[in-house]
Amino acid sequence: MTRSTIELPVTADDYRIARYAAAAIALTVAEAALPSPLPGIKPGLANIIVLVVLTRYGWHDAAWVSLLRVVAGSLVIGQFLAPGFFLALAGALCSLGVLALAQHLPPRFFGPVSASVLAAFAHIGGQIALARVWLVPHDGVFYLLPLFATAALVFGTINGLVAARLLAIPVAAPVTTPATPPSVKAAS
């Protein structure tokens, strides 16, 4: 009945991050429907979005999108605070750390594919490290490392190629139109 008196100031950056995070969450949910041969081996399609955001808007936005994706994606799937959530969080934090370094690679020689492969390895590294420390306190998890590393290489390359192809498209305009925030505000 009464209008909410709490007005949170929302900037254009927030809308942009929210849009990308929504796309990443959608990919996470779609990916959750795919059967996986081994727990932990996933294409990681949402990382395409993170790579695009990293290249277009920098690490800060990419970190927001990645972490929002982990939290909200797990809420949607129903895995929030389940072991899979913490594994995903560990992987996301590790890959963000690596991406923070990888974005300083000379862009003349290194494209999104390098960042994607490095981030994929960091992702799987963080997950295995957490699994070893917390979930499976036995060295047996390391016997699976070659399989995980292979998956990281393959999917990292594919995701990087997709991100590179998306970034090669000259139109960044539809997602950065400054006209959106007022219209959204009016609708809400």
Partner 1 sequence: MNERIPDPAPGRPKAGPSGPGAGDDREPPSPPFPERGLGGKHTDLLRELLAHATGDGHLPWRRLLKPGDWLLLVCAAALVAASYPLLWRGGVADRAIVRRDGQLVTELALNIPRKYAVAGAIGTTVIEVQPGRARVLSDPGPRQYCVQQGWLTRANAVAICAPNHVTLQLAGRSGQNGGYDTLNY
Q: Which residues contact partner 1 (rule: CB under 8 A)?
A: 15, 18-20, 22-23, 26, 48, 105-106, 108-114, 117-118, 121, 132, 137-139, 142-143, 145-146, 149-150, 153, 157, 160-162, 164-166, 168-171, 173-175, 177, 179-180, 183-184, 186-187
Residue type, 185: K
Token pair belonging to 14: 């927030």
For residues 63 and 94, the answer to whether their CB atoms sit within 8 Å is: no
Quick one: 82 or 105, whose CB is closer to partner 1? Answer: 105
Q: Which is nearer to partner 1, 85 or 132 (CB)?
A: 132
- Beta carbon of residue 77, minimum distance to partner 1 (angstroms, whole number): 18
Query: How many residues can be counted in the chain?
Result: 188
Instruction: State the Cα angle at 145 between 69 and 98, rounded to 5°.
Output: 45
Angle at CA of residue 137, ends 133 and 138, nearest 5°: 125
Q: Which residue has the tokens 């390391």?
A: 142
Q: From the CB of 53, what's the least distance to partner 1, in Å? A: 11
Look up tokens 């949910």; give the residue: 29
The pair of three-digit structure tokens given for residue 151, joined into one six-digit string = 């998956």
Closest CB to partner 1 among residues 84, 132? 132
Shortest Cβ distance from residue 81 to partner 1 (Å)?
26
Count of Cβ atoms closer than 10 Å to residue 181 Cβ: 16
The whole-angstrom separation of Cα 24 and Cα 119 is 16
Q: Which is nearer to partner 1, 80 or 110 (CB)?
A: 110
Work out how close the CB of 24 gets to partner 1 at its nearest, in angstroms, rounded to a whole number.
10
The helix or strand, by DSSP H or E, that contains position 165, with its residue range, turns out to be: helix 145-168
Task: Specify the residue, 85 or 136, whose C-beta has the smaller distance to partner 1.
Answer: 136
Minimum CB–partner distance for residue 142 and partner 1 (Å): 6
